[in-house]
Amino acid sequence: MGVNLSLFKGMGFFSKVRMLRVCMFLLMVGYGALPAMARYADIIIKGKVTSGTGESLAGVSVEVKGTTVGASTDVNGNFTVTADESATLVFSYVGYGSQEVLVNNRSTINVTMSTSSGQLEQVVVVGYGTQRKRDLTGSVTSVKGEDVARMPNTNPIASLQGKVAGLTITNSGNAGSSPVVRIRGINSTNSASPVYVVDGVLHDNIDFLNPADIETIDVLRDPSSIAIYGLRGANGVIAITSKKAARGQTRVNFTSSLGVQRVINRIAVTDAEGFKKLYAAQLSNLGAAPFDFTNYTANTNWQDEIFRDALININSLGFSNSSEKSTTLLNIGYTNQDGVLKYDNYKRYLVRLNEEIRFNDKIKVGGSITGFHWISNPEAAGLNNALWAAPIVPIKTDTGTYYSMPSFQRAQVGNPVAALNRNTRTSISKGFRIVGSLFAEVKFLKSFTWRSTVYTDLGFNNSRDYSPLPFAFVNLGEGTNPTTTTYDNTVRTGVSQSQSESKRFQQDHTLTFDKKLGSDHALTVLAGFTSIYSHGSSINGNRRDTTVNVPNNPDFWYLSTININNPGAFGGGGSESSIVGAFGRVSYAYKGKYLLNATLRRDGSSKFAPENRWGTFSSLGVGWVVTDDSFFNNVKTINFLKLRGAWGETGNANGFADNLYRPGISNASTAVFGNNVYTAIQASYIPDPNLHWEVVRGFDVGLDMKMFNNRLNAELNLYDRTTTDILTALTLPNESRSYFTNLGKITNKGIELSLGWSDKIGKDFTYSFSPNFSYNENVVNSIGDKTNFQLIGNNGANLTETGKSIGYFYGYRQTGIYQTTADITKSAAFTNSLPGDIAFADINGDGLITSADRTYLGTPFPPYSFGLSLSFGYKGFDAMFEGQGVAGNKIYTQRRIANFTVLNYESNRLNAWTTPGSTNIEPILDNSRGNNYLFSSYYLEPGDYFRIRTVQIGYTFGRNALSFLGIQKARIYLSGQNIVSWSQVTGYTPEAQIGSILGGGADNGVYPVPATYSFGVNVNF
Amino acid sequence: MKQSKLLSKYLLVLFIPLSIIIILTGCSKLLDTNRQGGYDESNYPYPGGSGPYDQFIFGAYNDLRSYSVHVDGFVAATSIRSDDADKGSTPADGGADLISMDNFPVLPSSGRANALWTGYFGLINKCNNTLYQIGTNAAITATEAVKLQTQAEARFMRGYSYFMLVRLFGRVPLIDTFYVDPAAQNNIPQSTPAQIYSFVENDLNFAAMYLPLKWDAKFVGRATKGMANGILAKVYLTQQKWALAMSTANAVITSGQYDLSTPYAKIFSEDGENSSESIFEIQATADANNPTSQGIQYTSIQGVRGAGAWDLGWGWNSPSTYLEAAYEAGDPRRARTILYAGGTTIHGEAVPTSVPNPRYNHKVHTNPAFRSSVGSRFGWWMNVRILRYADVVLMYAEAANEMGNTTEALEKLELVRARARAGNNTILPPVSTRDQAQLRNAIRQERRVELAMEHERFFDLVRWGIAGTTLPAAGKTNYVDSRDRLLPIPQTQIDLSKGVLTQNPGY
């Protein structure tokens, strides 16, 4: 053991000897826990559970207190459980207060669940454990699995959009893609994505999850809640608990939805007539000879050619069984999603098996394994290609001959349909992923629980691609040039193959002490240890056949098809990293009304140099349940009120490269002498010798309140969070490589308000209304004193500096258009400004427009976000409406600034300046006027939007209506998603592009988020 | 009951020690992960023997082929800005950024100006790194001679880079050290052109002293004494230091390494690479496996912009009608310089009449045999001729004439004209004027046609002080000499420096 102790090097708060003692102690208590367990006479207890309104409640958990024995109610609310005649039964159900009922030798017990403490009885994930929401001192929001399952999205996180205050989600319409997720603004100049914790396993990517197989999603937002996750948690944590089998029942559940996705808004570009008019005007403004359009008689809408109505089909079939000794859950999922961009397709097959075996009420073991297989066919069409291609060109003459673009864009822009059809179905991309876990849990000495879990996540991806022969192209005659047909015979067929594998192992070991001391003190102490190890490797190659043509048949898409003497290239790589941590938490409640939570974590990451590797993070939270104090007994309108405040500190090492402190050597650069090639080496980037992680600290104060007989639910949070030592890659002058360093400080301050009102009118009509609102202010407090250079992003369109929002838009402000030379003389202008150019504001008032007149033009990150949902129920019918939006940000229409050659014009250019007084917004059509392509407010548009996310109506068949089919319960629904948006954004989607931090907010042709119309069923057998 | 007790006992006996073993073995060395599939600076197996610094200096040679150094911005700033070439391609192609290189002013936001800045400073940085390694890397053992020779290579390329920068931008910051921690570098202000020229002379003199006359065949194209002296002669010529220009050019002429025996028609083809004419040529190569990665895109941006098999490039840098008119009657160099739509290439191909431009740069036209063997039409294998022997001979002639040494000037001028004549004595009669001004004009004319499309013209016009009259007369009506002789300091660099760098006059 002496050798092994070296692992605790640097773990300051645990001395080696102490740790050894702890281990020995654990061993001893383990053995000591063996005896005990006497039993009295067991009886069978039956009963029915109903809600306050008399409706029977299905799925209520019925547990025998102090044991793991239990059951849950069936669809009619009935349960059967075997328990000791003097036992206590605990009834719990999401959204209701749990109730304890003494059996007292009764064989029938009927229970009415009350909503008295409502949601607050709910249990949420708090990191290596769970806690009653009532006892929380940080901000954690839970979303029920059914709210996720009812949305026809392939990624469960996409369904959270607008549901949680402080959570910003940007969806992509790409089939099978993951959304961009930010919690409480941007904390880092590096990766700002939260970490996902799925049943205890840390993931960056959760594409293996079946949305219908989720019990709850908890969003942990404040530093006190995430501190226990150490270096991984700083951007927030999204904890996902997958479904477990309900006690005492055998169930079959089937859900399916079928929908069609459609891009309902196109980017407005000119048609053939408009294009001809504008190009002619541009040539005339350039003083060039007119273009001969005679042979260009087509009017092609290229966007229509690359988009399609795409089907999406999501299915899930679950089987679960639970008995006294074991529970089993088997879930099978199949998703088939076509992308709206031809011929994007994604198929996913999922199987998850979860098994838990209880030897007795002290010992249980279990495991879960998910198999995930995906097949994707990437889109072959390019969005920008379709926007750029001149609409005057016809598509093709026959299947092998297409029209090329006119000479003015032929070298840069291809025929979008030719590209699409040439590359369609020339790629086979597949992956397998296996995520598994095993755990064992032992309760001993009454109050102690030891739990050990090992996890693994294995991934295998491979792809094979084919590069076909080109098409022939007809080049239409222009002027004196005749029409020709050309075929590029230098292009040869080729194949490529690639494979990659990844593996990850995580182990968690926790010891929990949970005891009520007397009637007033409840204490839970947790200590634990965790490690994560990741490794990956990849290999790829390609070969081009210079003698024969490889057929377009997947049977031949292997490197071995082509003789080794043909040209090709091969590559490969690998990665390795690890994290080790020890942690502890103390939760204490006095009389259930004064609450205290404290955590401590010591973490080490292999990404940093040994001397900068270890850090200690902690948090402290306090809460006061005001309504439990006697002076509050007389306040009848307020049913529950909790005030809470928390402070926490954690590190952030997310998204940094493996071995960040030791850059790899690039051997890609070469010296060439004659035909001899020699390798040169260079470190691929430059690290600050003292690189370390970012530190996130923050306060969070809030209140949870229930009023008016629990009909109104309110949650309010104020937070102030600061990130210091931001780890950033800088662009420095006189150095082409990036420089990684810690610098500066960013603060995110904000407020989050969530309200929920639910009530009923009469006996049958229920309704609820839940709006939420959040405001986040992002301020860069300092960019450090290490360098005296400026931080710029996206070629200078974004600037990061002290006192402003991170990566704000920095450029000229348009005041109008210079109409005449007199206009230019009397106003501030560039020395080379001409009539028809954009007039800019003279910010420094020196009478000239210079680079000093650039100014703050807005932020790419929405400060305001809001969401609301409205639902109604009447007998079997239900209806739901959800909307979501953001405000206060700007979007940079960077796709419009492209002017490297003649591209199709967006429709706004139809109003381009021609003569004095023609417009005060759109500059002249003349791409030699460089001033009009400077980054200015002309290229910004408000990012505000409100979008109807979901409109859904459903009908649930009565209990007996379908019993002849063996169906206990069935719901059918019609749903529309993203069907209407209100915004001034001209791109495909108004959703802010926040993936890049120092250079965010640019729309360079974002994949559209389609509207989806779907029909679905949810059946229980 | 009993069973379950027993079971639990065994489980516990197994389970708790097992977990502890997992913990302890699992993490003992868990945090010591290594880079997979690549070296870092601590474990790179640095080669021993001769040339141990090659791995660093080769990085600088790599940058000579960079898009930012000798491709797009280079062609635009040295050739499209001059009266010898138009932007080419279709009227709006290349956008404001490229159009402004043709017809001024270039805006401070110019992507090409910024690329040139970062490209040459990146190259300088690699030279400084090599010098730093020679000075500090104790792990490498080398003889003093090897150290001096590698230093000379680094200082040659650094001197060349600053010579480009000072002619392109005027005032630039002088960075002569390698920053291990680049954030710690001072935000260095610009030096005056005089300071930069003195720095360049220093570097090139050192390089000329320690570089070899020539290298072994496997290192053909590597920095030589001739390269350093040839560039240095041009540095002196640019500063009108006539005596030094003459003596330095003479050092190249008398080195015995170069001559004018290569026919003009052959110099620019693939088979003319590294001929006895060649002093400084950016080396590029390509084969079917690597059609681009060891090459340079220089040719493809200028290639014929046709369709199908005639899609050889973007058609930029099209020879102008002013250049066309500059040739004397019957000068065969015109046909080797200008490739006409409907004309015939040096390799006998008939150019279609339907290509969008009437004229293309014939000197970068590739051999179709290479196109088919490499499997690419875009000519990444073509070397870029930076300094030819004829240039040095003409520099000598120019300096000699300015020194009043008319005989020497006439003699050297005739060497170049004689070669151009290619045996046809009915064309290009020898120049005989002994009038200094007339001879100056004759030498200028000879430089223009001999070195046409070879990136000399704009810098020549500026150093002769006639850009302000010549360029507007050649249709570049926006040209204002006080402003446009220099590119603007890129706004991005001024922004990065927080305003320590200041803009050139007139912008």
Record the tokens describing residue B329, joined without a space: 């009657």
Whether the predicted pLDDT of B85 surpasses 90:
yes
- Chain B residues whose CB is inside 8 A of the A658 CB are 33, 35-36
Whether the predicted pLDDT of A458 surpasses 90:
yes
The distance of Cα B357 from the centroid of its chain, to the nearest Å, equals 26
Distance from CA of A451 to the nearest CA of B (A): 9
Whether the predicted pLDDT of A181 surpasses 50:
yes
CA distance A789 to A299: 51
Q: Which of A159 and A575 is assigned the larger pLDDT?
A: A575
Query: Residue A220 — very low, low, confident or very high, per pLDDT cuts 50/70/90?
Result: confident
Q: What is the mean pLDDT of residues A889-916?
A: 91
CA distance A885 to A862: 10
Q: Compute how many other C-beta atoms are within 10 angstroms of the C-beta atom of residue A399.
A: 8
Q: What is the mean pLDDT of residues A415-441?
A: 92
Q: What is the mean pLDDT of residues A698-715?
A: 89
Whether the predicted pLDDT of B465 surpasses 50:
yes
- How confident is the model at residue A115, as a pLDDT? 57
Record the tokens describing residue B28, joined without a space: 């003992």
Query: Residue A24 — very low, low, confident or very high, per pLDDT cuts 50/70/90?
Result: very low
- How confident is the model at residue A490, as a pLDDT? 80
Cβ of A475 and B221 within 8 Å? no
- Chain A residues whose CB is inside 8 A of the B99 CB are 927-928, 930
CA distance A815 to A189: 33
Q: What is the mean pLDDT of residues A531-536?
A: 91
Number of domains in chain A: 3
Cβ of A789 and B121 within 8 Å? no
CA distance A689 to B182: 11
- Angle of helix B242-253 relative to helix B225-238, nearest 10 degrees? 160
- Chain A residues whose CB is inside 8 A of the B284 CB are 672
**Which residues neighbour B74 within 8 Å (Cβ) at sequence distance 6 or greater?**
B116, B298, B455
Provide the domain limits for residue A827.
816-853
**Which residues neighbour B4 within 8 Å (Cβ) at sequence distance 6 or greater?**
A359, A360
Record the tokens describing residue B491, joined without a space: 């706004």
Of A546, A928, A933, the CB nearest to B103: A928
- How confident is the model at residue A268, as a pLDDT? 93
Q: How many residues does chain B have?
A: 507
Q: How many residues does chain A have?
A: 1021
Question: A791-793 and A401-403 as β-strands: parallel, antiparallel, unpaired?
Answer: unpaired
Return the residue of A nearest to B219 by Cα.
A673
Return the residue of A nearest to B174 by Cα.
A734
* Highest mean pLDDT, choosing among A1010-1014, B10-14, B296-300: B296-300
Work out the widest C-alpha separation in chain B, in whole angstroms. Answer: 124
Of B92, B283, B492, the CB nearest to A795: B492
At B183, give phi and psi (nearest 5°): -70, -20
**Which residues neighbour A665 within 8 Å (Cβ) at sequence distance 6 or greater?**
A681, A682, A683, A684, B38, B39, B40, B41, B44
Return the residue of A nearest to B495 by Cα.
A790
Instruction: Dump the DSSP string for A593-653.
Output: TEEEEEEEEEEEETTS-GGG-EEEEEEEEEEEEGGGSGGGTT--SEEEEEEEEEEEEEEE-
- Chain A residues whose CB is inside 8 A of the B185 CB are 732, 734
CA distance A245 to A320: 5
pLDDT digits (tens, 9 = 90+) for A695-704: 888 899 999 9
- Chain A residues whose CB is inside 8 A of the B29 CB are 7
Record the tokens describing residue B451, joined without a space: 């070195």
Q: Which of B54, B68, B385, B301 is nearest to A670 (CA)?
A: B54
What is the residue whose two structure tokens read 């969401």? A867
pLDDT digits (tens, 9 = 90+) for B405-427: 999 999 999 999 999 999 999 99
Whether the predicted pLDDT of A117 surpasses 70:
no
Cβ of A672 and B284 within 8 Å? yes
Query: Which neighbouring-strand residues pair with A972?
Result: A955, A1017
Distance from CA of A1019 to the nearest CA of B (A): 39
Contact in structure between A765 and A873 (CB atoms under 8 Å): yes
Whether the predicted pLDDT of A22 surpasses 60:
no
Whether the predicted pLDDT of A994 surpasses 50:
yes
- How confident is the model at residue A36, as a pLDDT? 36
Whether the predicted pLDDT of A959 surpasses 80:
no
Measuring CA to CA, how many Å separate B302 from each of A748, A768, B64, B77, B287?
A: 51, 68, 18, 14, 20
Q: Pick the residue of B2, B6, B19, B126 with the most A CBs within 10 A to test the interface with A by mutation.
A: B19
CA distance A764 to A772: 27
- How confident is the model at residue A1008, as a pLDDT? 83
Q: What is the mean pLDDT of residues A680-695?
A: 84
Work out the widest C-alpha separation in chain A, in whole angstroms. Answer: 105
Cβ of A3 and B28 within 8 Å? yes
- Chain B residues whose CB is inside 8 A of the A734 CB are 121, 124-125, 173, 175, 182, 185
DSSP code, position A158: G
Q: What is the mean pLDDT of residues A440-467?
A: 91
Query: Residue B189 — very low, low, confident or very high, per pLDDT cuts 50/70/90?
Result: very high
Does an H or E element contain B70, and which? helix B67-70
CATH number of the domain that residue A59 is part of:
2.60.40.1120
Q: Compute how many other C-beta atoms are within 10 angstroms of the C-beta atom of residue A707.
A: 17
Q: Pick the residue of B496, B501, B504 with the most A CBs within 10 A to test the interface with A by mutation.
A: B496
Record the tokens describing residue A458, joined without a space: 């294995």
Return the residue of B nearest to A30 by Cα.
B12
Q: What is the mean pLDDT of residues B308-335?
A: 94
Of A23, A282, A507, the CB nearest to B26: A507
pLDDT digits (tens, 9 = 90+) for A308-336: 999 999 899 989 888 778 889 899 999 99
CA distance A144 to A938: 44
- How confident is the model at residue A709, as a pLDDT? 85
Q: Left, alpha or beta for A784 (phi > 0: left; psi -120 to 50: alpha)?
A: left
Record the tokens describing residue B463, joined without a space: 């150093």
- Chain B residues whose CB is inside 8 A of the A492 CB are 375
- When the pLDDT of each residue in chain B is averaged and rounded to a whole number, the result is 91
Exposure string over A27-51, b if 16+ CB within 10 A, otherwise e: eebbeebbeeeeeeeebebebbbbb
Measuring CA to CA, how many Å separate A606 from each of A575, A578, A661?
A: 12, 5, 9
CA distance B162 to B128: 13
Contact in structure between A688 and A739 (CB atoms under 8 Å): yes
Task: For residue A682, give the amino acid letter.
Answer: Q
Least confident range from A483-487, A528-532, A961-965: namely A961-965
Q: What is the mean pLDDT of residues A891-901?
A: 88
Q: What is the mean pLDDT of residues A795-815?
A: 90
- When the pLDDT of each residue in chain A is averaged and rounded to a whole number, the result is 85
- Chain A residues whose CB is inside 8 A of the B97 CB are 900, 930
Return the residue of B nearest to A742 by Cα.
B183
Whether the predicted pLDDT of A670 surpasses 80:
yes
Task: For residue A864, give the amino acid letter.
Answer: Y
Cβ of B33 and A577 within 8 Å? yes
A28 and A48 in a single domain? The answer is no
- Chain B residues whose CB is inside 8 A of the A507 CB are 22-23, 26
Cβ of B37 and A4 within 8 Å? no
Distance from CA of A733 to the nearest CA of B (A): 7
Q: How many CA atoms lie within 13 A of A800 on its CB side?
A: 32
pLDDT digits (tens, 9 = 90+) for A38-90: 345 678 888 888 876 667 777 787 888 777 677 778 777 888 888 888 788 88
Return the residue of A nearest to B15 by Cα.
A440
Size of interface A-B (CB pairs under 8 A): 370
CA distance B489 to A278: 34
Cβ of A574 and B1 within 8 Å? no
Distance from CA of B311 to the nearest CA of A (A): 8
A81 and A111 in a single domain? The answer is yes
Q: Which of B64, B154, B125 is nearest to A739 (CA)?
A: B125
What is the residue whose two structure tokens read 């370390």? A692
**Within a domain: A78:** yes
- Chain B residues whose CB is inside 8 A of the A931 CB are 107
Distance from CA of B15 to the nearest CA of A (A): 8
CA distance B5 to B8: 5
Record the tokens describing residue B7, joined without a space: 């079971």
According to the 3-state scheme, what is the secondary structure of A515-544?
Answer: EEECCCEEEEEEEEEEEEEEEEEEEEEEEE
Distance from CA of A710 to the nearest CA of B (A): 46
Return the residue of B nearest to A450 by Cα.
B16
Record the tokens describing residue B122, joined without a space: 């990146």
What is the residue whose two structure tokens read 């592009």? A993
Exposure string over B210-225, b if 16+ CB within 10 A, otherwise e: bbeeeeeeebbbbbbb
CA distance A236 to B27: 26
Q: Which of A399, A410, A543, A416 is nearest to A484 (CA)?
A: A410
Q: Pick the residue of B4, B12, B114, B312 with the most A CBs within 10 A to test the interface with A by mutation.
A: B12
Query: Which neighbouring-strand residues pair with A439?
Result: A366, A453
Record the tokens describing residue A308, joined without a space: 């399609």
Of B44, B99, B310, the CB nearest to A928: B99
Q: In chain B, what percentage of residues exceed pLDDT 70?
A: 93
Whether the predicted pLDDT of B14 surpasses 80:
no
Q: Compute how many other C-beta atoms are within 10 angstroms of the C-beta atom of residue A831.
A: 12
pLDDT digits (tens, 9 = 90+) for B221-249: 999 999 999 999 999 999 999 999 999 99
Query: Residue B338 — very low, low, confident or very high, per pLDDT cuts 50/70/90?
Result: very high
- Chain B residues whose CB is inside 8 A of the A19 CB are none
**Within a domain: A53:** yes
- Chain A residues whose CB is inside 8 A of the B283 CB are 671-674
Q: Pick the residue of A283, A407, A614 with the most B CBs within 10 A to test the interface with B by mutation.
A: A407
Query: Residue A161 — very low, low, confident or very high, per pLDDT cuts 50/70/90?
Result: confident
Cβ of A363 and B8 within 8 Å? yes
Q: Which fold has domain B54-211+477-496?
A: 1.25.40
Contact in structure between A137 and A596 (CB atoms under 8 Å): yes
Whether the predicted pLDDT of A11 surpasses 60:
no
pLDDT digits (tens, 9 = 90+) for A341-395: 888 899 999 999 989 898 888 899 999 999 999 999 888 778 889 999 999 999 9
Q: In angstroms, how far is the first alpha carbon of chain A from the final one?
A: 55
**Within a domain: A88:** yes
- Chain A residues whose CB is inside 8 A of the B353 CB are 480-481
Whether the predicted pLDDT of B395 surpasses 80:
yes
- How confident is the model at residue A19, as a pLDDT? 41
The distance of Cα A533 from the centroid of its chain, to the nearest Å, equals 23
Query: Which neighbouring-strand residues pair with A599?
Result: A585, A619
Contact in structure between B320 and B103 (CB atoms under 8 Å): no
Q: What is the mean pLDDT of residues B326-341?
A: 96
- How confident is the model at residue A35, as a pLDDT? 37
Record the tokens describing residue B268, joined without a space: 């620019």
Cβ of A34 and B12 within 8 Å? yes
Q: What is the mean pLDDT of residues A296-300?
A: 95
Q: Pick the residue of B27, B29, B127, B493 with the most A CBs within 10 A to test the interface with A by mutation.
A: B27
Record the tokens describing residue A853, joined without a space: 């007149």
Does an H or E element contain B468, and which? helix B467-473
In chain B, residues under CATH classification 1.25.40.390 are 54-211+477-496
Record the tokens describing residue A290, joined without a space: 């007119």
- How confident is the model at residue A40, as a pLDDT? 55
pLDDT digits (tens, 9 = 90+) for B434-458: 999 999 999 999 999 999 999 999 9
